[in-house]
Every structure is written in structure tokens, then in C-alpha cells.
Amino acid sequence: MDKFVIRGGNPLIGTIRVSGAKNSALPCMAAAILTEDEVTLENIPQVRDIETERRLLASMGAEVELGYGRAQHRTTISCRTLSDPEAKYEIVKTMRASSLVLGPLVARAGMARVAMPGGCAIGGRPIDLHIKGLEKMGATITQEHGYLEARASRLKGAHLVFDKITVTGTEDLLMAAVLAEGETLMENCAREPEVTDLAALLVAMGARIDGAGTSTMRIQGVTSLHGARYRINPDRIEAGTFLVAGAITRGDLIVANCNPSHLSAIIAKLEEAGARIDILSSDSVRVRADGALKAADISTEEYPGFPTDMQAQYMALATQAEGVSMVKENIFENRFMHVQELVRMGANIKVDGRSATVRGSARLSAAAVMCSDLRASASLVLAALVADGESILDRVYHMDRGYERIEEKLRGVGAQIRRMGNVFASRQDPVEAD
Ligand code: UD1
């Protein structure tokens, strides 16, 4: 099992490049199910979840080329034949976003068998809203032997109002609606940039969608979609993680190939915490922190609020700020797995339900720590970058799910970090996802 060995104390200085957004790439790859033609996606991140999605699509009979090069990371997917419209448990259990194939499979093949994902490290993570939406669109859904089976000869447009804002739920039902008969009105939709990315791909494939990026979307169903070529947006969570890395190490970092307009909540909070942020261009942001960091509270919200996927990383920063920061997690019920490991490194954090009180100015000391999920791993890397001595992070396969060669990128800007073992060599089943 791979480990990271990190010696803290170096300020990060230089330019670090952000990869494509994993959470855009996953639904966009699933969208290829909706057409018999080829879909080509550029700026695909080289992370384990993408490999899992490739395996998932291939297991259904799709042809998936996935190539990574210096100039381009690209996948071309052909779902001309879908011999087996099923997402097997072996794959779903390693990546919850596998449930994104549910809507497109029913829309294209008239049926889908998808393993129920079960709980995960950060909370219950039900998919009841996906199911409810498909039922409203006329699908018959049964559940047996841990699998969900959905059938509909052709889905029908419907008025869907999400009880709760769900990112993959919005994406799943959007993909179902584009091939449904008639109009679908979706209210209380997720407004995340990843939803907008997916909608842009679907429009390039011939879908008719109004309102992407707002809470109300209106979709006119079409009878078929065609192939397209689409470039995935940069990963805003990776960019945010690097901004925190620059600030926590008191560095001077240019985060390149990002989209600053997707980072507003993160930038505002880092500024409140005393970091100096300059938006240098439409795709780069500079972060500096030469003075003291100050405590600032966060409360996670749906986009455009402060993302839950940045909560753990922000908490690492809060341990280094002067004063007391309150961290409120509103999206997931159990997303404080990183706390106990940060405390083992010397952080002073108390959790009470969905809130954590972080008393700052902690002197972190290196320790052997365990990564429990994707963003928790990122927070431990950040803490290790400022801890006194050499930390060893175990189970970095969680990190590899969503961060492309993070150790190489961080080393390029002065971090002392090395991997013990080979990237992607371990064959663990990470049972969690975001
Ligand atoms: C997506 C992101 C993940 C991020 C999360 C919240 C992907 C692949 N993952 O996950 O990185 O942390 O959004 O921004 O894009 N819920 C229900 N019923 C449902 C669906 C969701 O109750 O049918 C609840 C969840 O338990 C959670 C909340 O809604 O409390 C938000 O979850 P959701 O937005 O669906 O998260 P994901 O789409 O799984």
C-alpha cells in the first residue's frame, strides 16, 4: 500500500498546474452512454476514479480509449453497443459516482441494473432522489439482491422538484431528461460548475437545456443525441487545495490552469484568514501569506457557498491561524474523519455533532497518520507540509482517487514529499467517494 513521506517546513514557491475536474469528467463520461456516436473528452485528470469509470463503461460493452500525454489527457468513448446495462457491485462499491449511469442507461437502453452503493466514510449517501425523479419520469423501479433495476420504454418529461440539493442527482436526472419525451422542468437543482460542465457537453451533443448553472432547468427532450468533443473545466477543489497549500506554508504560489470564477467562496475565506490573493488572469491565481494567519469561521454550503470538499483542507489551515475558528459541516453528517488524525499531529480541535471548534496557533509535529477519504487525505498532506519533522501518510490510495500526481506537483514547488510504492500499484478497494 502506498505511503507519502512528507517533511514539513518548506514554503511552497512557484507555479503549480491544476488538472481537469474529476467531478465533471465522471458525469461527462457517463453521458457518452446517451449516444451511439463517439464522445471525446479532453483535460481528463489522471486519477483512479477515471480509471474506475473506464472499467465501468467497458464492463457494459463500451469501447473506451483513455490516454495521458504531456500535451493532452483525453478519452474517447463509443457506446455504439451496450451489451450489459449493469453497474456491478464490485465497481459501485469503490466509487459511488457509478450511480451516474442510472439515468443515461434507462434513457438510452430502456433499462438499468445498478448496485445500491451503501454508506460511505462521510455519511449515509442515499440515492433516493435519483430514484424518485426517474419514477416521476415513468420508470418502474424494483430493488432486489442489493441491485436497483429501472425500466422504461421511453422516459416522459416531468416536473421534478428536488427535496434537497444533490449534485449527482441533478446530473443523473438531467441525463435522463435529455432523451425523454417532452419537457422536463427541474427545480431546486444543484448549481455546481460540474453540472454546468455536463450540461455544456450535452448541448454540444444536441440536447436542449435552458438554465444550467441556475436552480431551475428546463429540458426539451430529443429523440437522439450525436457525438461531440468537449474540454473539461479545471478542478476547483484541486485549485482550492493548492491555494490553501500556498497559504499554510507561508509561500508564494501561482495556481495555474484554474478558473478563478469558480473559486470565489474559497478565495474570500482565505483573504479573511489573512492570505493575499491576486487573480492574475482568467486562469491563474497567486496566493501569498507573509503575515500572521487569522481565525475565520466556515460553514459548508452548496455552490456558490463554501464547498464541503474543501472543509478538511481549510481545517488544516485553521490549526495554524491565530484565534478560534468554527467549522460547520452542513452537507454530510460524518465528515470529520480527518480531525482525529490532525489532533494526533498536535491540532486542538473539538467536534460537537456537525460543528468543530479549532483553536489555532498549534505547533504541529510530524506523525504517522492514516488517510480515511479523499479530502481528509488532502488535509493531512497540508498539515504535514507545516509539521515539524517527517510525517508518514498511510492509505494514500484515497488521495489517488482524485488528485493527479499530487506529490510530483507539490515537489515542483518546493515541498519535501515522496511516495513509497508505485502510483496505482496497490489494489485496495476504497469504499468511499466524493
Ligand atoms: C457530489 C460530489 C462530492 C461532493 C458533493 C457535495 C461528485 C462525483 N461528487 O457528491 O464531491 O462532496 O457532491 O458537494 O460530483 N442526498 C440525499 N438523497 C439523494 C442524494 C443526496 O439525501 O438521493 C443527500 C446526501 O446524503 C448529502 C446531500 O444530499 O447529504 C448532498 O449530496 P450530493 O450533492 O448528492 O452529493 P454527491 O452528488 O454524491
- Give the DSSP letter string of 348-383: EEEEETTEEEEE-----B--EEE--SHHHHHHHHHH
- Please provide the DSSP assignment of 36-76 as one string: SSEEEEES---SHHHHHHHHHHHHTT-EEEEEE-SS-EEEE
How far apart CA 107 and CA 92 sit, in angstroms, is: 20
* 22-231 CATH: 3.65.10.10
Which phi and psi (to 5°) does residue 349 adopt?
-135, 135
Q: Would you please indicate which residues are annotated as catalytic (active-site) residues? A: 120
- Of 406, 12, 7, 413, nearest in space to 246 by CA: 12
**pLDDT attached to residue 422:** 60
pLDDT at 427 (0 to 100): 44
Q: Are 138 and 221 in contact (CB under 8 A)?
A: no
Kindly report the backbone phi and psi dihedral angles of residue 248, in degrees, each rounded to the nearest multiple of 5, phi listed first. -70, -30
**Ligand 1 centroid vs 81 CA: distance in angstroms?**
30
How does pLDDT run along the chain (434 residues), one tens digit per residue?
A: 899 999 999 999 999 999 999 999 999 999 999 999 999 999 999 999 999 999 999 999 999 999 988 767 999 999 999 999 999 999 998 898 999 999 999 999 999 999 987 656 666 678 999 999 999 999 999 999 999 999 999 999 999 999 999 999 999 999 999 999 999 999 999 999 999 999 999 999 999 999 999 999 999 999 999 999 999 999 999 999 999 999 999 999 999 999 999 999 999 999 999 999 999 999 999 999 988 999 999 999 999 999 999 999 999 999 999 999 999 999 998 899 999 999 999 999 999 999 999 999 999 999 999 999 999 999 999 999 999 999 999 999 999 999 999 999 999 999 999 999 864 544 444 445 46
CA distance 3 to 370: 9
SS3 297: coil
CB 415 within 8 A of CB 10: yes
Cell of 15: 507555479
Nearest CA to ligand 1 atom 34: 166
Return the residue whose CA atom lies nearest to atom 33 of ligand 1.
166
What is the residue with the minimal CA distance to atom 22 of ligand 1? 126
Which atom of ligand 1 lies nearest, measured to the CA of 131?
Answer: 23
CA dihedral 160, 333, 29, 103 (to 10 degrees): -30
DSSP 250: T
| Cβ atoms of 118 and 50 closer than 8 Å | no
Report which residue type is found at 162: F
Note the pLDDT of residue 426: 46
Q: How far is the CA of 414 from the centre of ligand 1 (A)?
A: 35
For a ligand 1 pocket test, name from 127, 331, 373 the mutation site with the most ligand atoms within 8 angstroms of its C-beta.
Answer: 331
Ligand 1 atom closest to the CA of 129, numbered from 1: 23
CATH for the stretch 3-19+234-426: 3.65.10.10
Which residues form ligand 1's pocket by a CB distance below 6 Å? 23, 26, 96-97, 123-130, 164, 166-169, 194, 308-309, 331-332, 434
Ligand 1 centroid to residue 166 C-alpha, Å: 5
- CA 33/CA 39 separation, integer angstroms: 9
Provide the pairing of β-strand 298-299 with 324-328: parallel
Residue 421: what pLDDT?
83
Q: So what's the pLDDT on residue 430? A: 46
Q: What is the pLDDT of residue 177?
A: 98
Q: Report CA(267)–ligand 1 centroid distance (Å).
A: 23
Distance 287 CA to ligand 1 centre (A): 29
State the pLDDT at residue 118. Answer: 64
| Residues in Cβ contact with 162 at an 8 Å cutoff, skipping those fewer than 6 apart | 129, 133, 169, 170, 186, 187, 188, 189
Q: What is the pLDDT of residue 126?
A: 85
Q: Please state whether beta strands 73-78 and 38-42 pair in parallel, antiparallel, or not at all (unpaired).
A: antiparallel
Straight-line distance from the first to the last Cα atom of the chain, in angstroms, rounded to the nearest whole number = 21
The C-alpha angle with vertex 165 and arms to 163 and 166, in degrees rounded to 5, equals 110
**Which cell goes with 367?**
506523525
Count of Cβ atoms closer than 10 Å to residue 48 Cβ: 25
Residue to mutate (ligand 1; options 132, 136, 164; most atoms within 8 A of CB): 164
All residues at 6 or more sequence positions from 206 whose CB lies less than 8 Å from its CB, including other chains: 222, 224, 225, 226
The ligand 1 atom at the shortest distance from the C-alpha of residue 307 is 14
Domain with CATH 3.65.10.10 in the chain: 3-19+234-426, 22-231
Distance CA 209, CA 199 (A): 7
CB-based contact 259:234 (threshold 8 Å): yes
> What is the pTM for the complete model shown?
0.96
Q: Measure Cα distances from 251 to 9, 113, 290, 378 in Å.
A: 11, 49, 7, 17
Q: Is 87 helix (H, G, I), strand (E, B) or coil?
A: strand
What's the pLDDT score for residue 120? 62
